[in-house]
Amino acid sequence: MLVIPAIGVVFLILQIWKLRVQKKFADKKLLQKLAPNQSLFKGLLKLVVLSGAFACLSLALVNPKIGTKMETVRSQGVDIVFAVDVSKSMLAEDIAPNRLEKAKQLVTQIVNNLASDRIGIIAYAGNAFPQLPITTDYASAKMFLQNMNTDMLSSQGTAIHEAIELSKTYYDNEEQTNRILIIISDGEDHENEAVDAAEDAAESGIKIFTIGVGDTKGGPIPIKRNGVVLNYKKDNNGETVITKLDEAVLKEIAEKANGTYINGRNTGDVVATIKDILEKTDKTEFESKQIADFKDQFQWFLALGILLIFVDVFLLERKTAWLKKLNLFNENL
């Protein structure tokens, strides 16, 4: 758009220069006889037409949008709920950087490889807490995931059965979608109700896949302040607590709910396994929504800009018989 005032300045300078040169060449009456077709109005009209052409082309590049159009978007996929263990045992560093960070890394990488599936997140320790309802907003899911920590739930423990029960509320019974629950945990369920909960979930059509994070040899639970290890968690007898990955529990939960157990040590293997499972799972159309979008209007400005350029080139630069008859520029015929 800055071209328009630039053209105006050039036109003004050109007119001043022409007047000075013409005065040196001949007086006004003689000039009218020598150049009867000269017209200031024609020059101004040319300036207006060129400025209008540049303005229209500039607006076309901006691509203004006016009005709306409606589109129907249908998605096919699977409802996936991630249940992430945030108990204190997940602070053990027997898998780098620690079990919880590894769990968050695994979920993030799985989400990055999803297409149109819906996801939800549950955090659990001594009890389960809904972190994110079913959504297709993966960016929000990863944001909520990164904010998860072992201090978010006051009650400690590993109540896997509560996470399974809570996951049932995530699925819409009216929509017959394939339902998958992925539990990421070290498997230390001290209440021994998870297997029964898994059987109930299977009857509700939920498949449970479990991912174990940690080492079967175990490791201590560090107590840190500002990133510095001050001590390790101890039991009532003053002995250092050693927490171990309980693969047996996680395998039994997955088996009872028609799923699979996956060792979470290698992120790439976990992502590939989950991806393969989802590819083999039947997709169901679970969402049909209307999206309002603005209609592009650049074509009108582009057409008008081109028309004004044609007017300038073919009408204002040449003398045509019909234009001469109109005598728009007060020419002496």
Q: pLDDT (tens digit, 9 = 90+) per residue, 260-289?
A: 999 999 999 999 999 999 988 888 776 555
- pLDDT over 90 (residue 238): no
Across the range 109-136, mean pLDDT stands at 91
pLDDT the model gives residue 204:
87
Residue 208 and residue 181: Cα distance in Å, rounded? 5
Residue 104 and residue 126: Cα distance in Å, rounded? 19
Residue 331 and residue 313: Cα distance in Å, rounded? 20
Residue 266 and residue 234: Cα distance in Å, rounded? 30
For residue 56, with 0-12 CB atoms within 10 Å meaning exposed, 13-18 middle and 19 or more buried, which class applies?
buried
Phi, psi of 216 (to 5 degrees): -65, -20
DSSP assignments along 233-253, one per residue: -B-TTSPBPEE---HHHHHHH
Phi, psi of 48 (to 5 degrees): -65, -45
In the chain, CATH 3.40.50.410 covers 73-289
Residue 284 and residue 77: Cα distance in Å, rounded? 6
73-289 classified as CATH 1.20.120.1460: no
Kindly report the pTM of this predicted structure: 0.65
Residue 35 and residue 121: Cα distance in Å, rounded? 83
* Average pLDDT for the chain: 83
Confidence class for position 291, pLDDT limits 50, 70, 90: low
Q: Name residues whose C-beta falls within 8 Å of residue 100's C-beta, 6 or more positions apart in sequence.
A: 84, 85, 86, 90, 91, 148, 149, 150
Q: Higher confidence at residue 149 or residue 327?
A: 149
Residue 62 and residue 250: Cα distance in Å, rounded? 57
